[in-house]
């Protein structure tokens, strides 16, 4: 057993860490305050090859593995969640479905522009009445004269409405009890995108409601086999969970870093608060749990990279790191006292950005349902 990362993985970690510290950290507060999408950072990340880490080189990606991808997402989230989820949703939800289920033509059409980061893609599964129960999709696609005519709506969709969004893959009923995935290009008549939704956190990430009214796309935009949409999106979510779990570790690490520094700087009763054992114990617990969470994430990524079953490991990593990040960000803010409650403190932004890690790509409860099913219950 070798727990050391390879030189390539270490190099990538250092590159992303440096990028996050030098390019993301100085603008994160402003992007959050202005709810501004980070176009400049996306362009820089595209240059660095971060917008298609696990996508093969033949399609313009970095041709790296899931572990590398998880490490990059962790390092970005350590500094800013909005930037990290932009990359994660684009990669796992926007690009991966086309790589996994697309035919040659679809791959050639979409992957180079997506994997290079020139354009972004989204995945639209959630509807107003179909969240955890994603199979309750109401959006319909009817085949007519060589086209699919789509009617319905989606909600809370990441990356669908930026100036550089190319397409969204949506789940739709193609018959009663038959779900399929269909690619809808941005700009197709009848496909409307709401203004950005106002959120508790992830202010600089793009989140929209989508509406489809007699939207006609070619027959060839069906992704994979007709009627396999349900199985496909479950597989997509299994993989996506590894990146959200990596966000949980990254956010916890970022909150720990802030607490560690503040505890040594802040003096009360004539001493730095880090000299009080109650504070030291909190930091000790945080550091320990973060190591445990990171090990779960790396294991899930490693299993996927070995081509072995990883769905259980991914759900366990997502559940554990979602709750871990909640505990750590809460303890870190507590350690910041009243200053932590002020908008200008970095920990306040991390605190707001944390909660959705226990909701998106399957709530904590849904992860427990998935885990229980894998345990044979």
Ligand X SMILES: Cc1cc2nc3c(=O)[nH]c(=O)nc-3n(C[C@H](O)[C@H](O)[C@H](O)COP(=O)(O)OP(=O)(O)OC[C@H]3O[C@@H](n4cnc5c(N)ncnc54)[C@H](O)[C@@H]3O)c2cc1C
Of 173, 167, 88, give the one whose Cα is nearest residue 135. Answer: 173
Binding-residue total with ligand X (CB under 6 A): 23
Closest approach of ligand X to the CB of residue 310, in Å: 20
Closest of 241, 259, 376 to residue 320, by C-alpha:
241
Pick from 45, 89, 217, 303 the residue near ligand X by CB under 6 A: 89
* Residue 359 binds ligand X, judged by CB under 6 A: yes
- Applying CB under 6 A, among 121, 356, 357, 370 the residue interacting with ligand X is 356
- Supply the minimum distance, in Å, between the C-beta of residue 117 and ligand X: 18
Work out which of 345, 360, 367, 370 binds ligand X, going by CB under 6 A: 360
Residue closer to ligand X by CB (options 346, 357) is 357
Q: Is 170 left (phi over 0), alpha (psi -120 to 50) or beta?
A: beta
Quote the CA–CA distance of 83 and 23 in Å, as a whole number: 11
Catalytic residues: 361
Dihedral sign (CA 302, 361, 166, 207): negative
52 touches ligand X (CB under 6 A): no
How far is Cα 150 from Cα 138, in angstroms, rounded to an integer? 11
Residue with smallest beta-carbon separation from ligand X: 131
Residue 237 within binding range of ligand X, rule CB under 6 A: no
- Ranges within 157-176 binding ligand X (CB under 6 A): 157-158
CA 190 from centroid of its chain's CA atoms: 28
Q: How far is CA 92 from the centre of its chain?
A: 7
Quick one: 122 or 370, whose CB is closer to ligand X?
122
Tokens representing 310 are: 């990883």
- Binds ligand X (CB under 6 A): choice among 59, 110, 202, 212: 202
**Pairing mode of beta strands 140-144, 271-272:** unpaired
**Closer residue to ligand X (CB): 49 or 196:** 196
The minimum distance between CB 181 and ligand X, in angstroms, equals 12
Residues 93-122 that bind ligand X (CB under 6 A): 93, 122
3-state secondary structure of 346: helix
Rg, Å, the chain Cα set = 21
The string over 328-362, giving b where at least 16 C-beta atoms fall within 10 Å of a residue's C-beta and e elsewhere, is bbebbbebbeeebeeeebbbbbbbbbbbbbbbbbb
> Which range binds ligand X by CB under 6 A, 26-34, 219-227, 254-262, 358-366?
358-366
**Contact with ligand X (CB under 6 A): which of 12, 50, 125, 329?**
125
- List beta partners, residue 121: 167
Q: Which of 37, 156, 262, 310 binds ligand X (CB under 6 A)?
A: 156
Complex with ligand X: residue 122 or 297, whichever CB lies closer:
122
Q: How far is the C-alpha of 325 from the C-alpha of 252, rounded, in Å?
A: 5
State the nearest-atom distance from the C-beta of 132 to ligand X, in Å: 3
Name every residue whose Cβ is closer than 8 Å to that of residue 225 and which is 6 or more positions away in sequence: 180
Q: Does 365 bind ligand X (CB under 6 A)?
A: yes
Q: Provide the minimum distance between the beta carbon of 161 and ligand X in the complex, in angstroms, as a whole number.
A: 11
275 binds ligand X (CB under 6 A): no
Binding residue for ligand X (CB under 6 A) from 226, 363, 371, 374? 363
Q: Which of 123, 148, 191, 298 binds ligand X (CB under 6 A)?
A: 123
Residue of 120, 131, 139, 121 lying closest to 43 (CA atoms) = 120
Q: Give the one residue of 5, 13, 25, 126 binding ligand X; rule: CB under 6 A.
A: 126
Q: Which ranges of 276-345 would DSSP assign to H, the alpha helix?
A: 277-305, 311-340
Chain residues binding ligand X by CB under 6 A are: 89, 93, 122-126, 131-132, 156-158, 199, 202, 207, 356, 359-363, 365-366
């Amino acid at each position: 057993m070798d727990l050391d990362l390879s030189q390539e993985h270490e190099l990538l970690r250092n590159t992303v860490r440096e990028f996050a510290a030098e390019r993301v950290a100085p603008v994160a507060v402003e992007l959050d305050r202005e709810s501004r999408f980070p176009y400049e950072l996306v362009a820089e990340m595209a240059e660095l090859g971060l917008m298609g880490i696990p996508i093969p080189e033949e399609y313009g990606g970095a041709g790296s593995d899931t572990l590398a991808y998880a490490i990059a997402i962790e390092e970005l989230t350590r500094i800013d969640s909005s930037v990290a989820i932009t990359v994660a949703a684009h990669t796992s939800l926007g690009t991966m479905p086309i790589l996994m289920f697309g035919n040659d033509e679809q791959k050639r059409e979409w992957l180079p522009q997506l994997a290079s980061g020139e354009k972004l893609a989204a995945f639209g599964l959630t509807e107003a009445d179909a969240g955890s129960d994603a199979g309750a999709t109401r959006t319909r696609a009817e085949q007519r004269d060589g086209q699919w005519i789509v009617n319905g709506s989606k909600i809370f969709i990441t990356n669908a409405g930026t100036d550089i969004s190319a397409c969204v893959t949506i789940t739709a009923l193609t018959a009663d009890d038959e779900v399929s995935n269909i690619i809808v290009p941005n700009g197709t008549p009848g496909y409307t995108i709401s203004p950005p939704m106002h959120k508790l956190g992830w202010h600089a990430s793009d989140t929209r409601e989508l509406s489809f009214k007699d939207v006609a796309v070619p027959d060839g935009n069906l992704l994979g086999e007709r009627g396999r949409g349900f199985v496909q999106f479950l597989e997509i979510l299994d993989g996506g969970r590894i990146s959200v779990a990596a966000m949980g570790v990254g956010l916890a690490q970022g909150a720990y870093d802030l607490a560690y520094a503040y505890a040594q700087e802040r003096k009360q009763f004539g001493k730095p608060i880090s000299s009080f054992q109650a504070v030291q114990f909190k930091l000790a617990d945080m550091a320990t749990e973060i190591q445990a969470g990171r090990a779960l994430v790396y294991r899930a990524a490693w299993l996927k990279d070995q081509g072995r079953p990883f769905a259980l490991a991914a759900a366990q990593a997502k559940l554990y790191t979602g709750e871990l990040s909640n505990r750590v960000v809460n303890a870190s803010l507590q350690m910041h006292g009243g200053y932590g409650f002020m908008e200008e403190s970095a920990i306040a932004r991390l605190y707001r950005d944390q909660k959705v890690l226990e909701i998106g790509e399957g709530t904590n409860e849904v992860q427990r349902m998935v885990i229980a099913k894998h345990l044979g219950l």
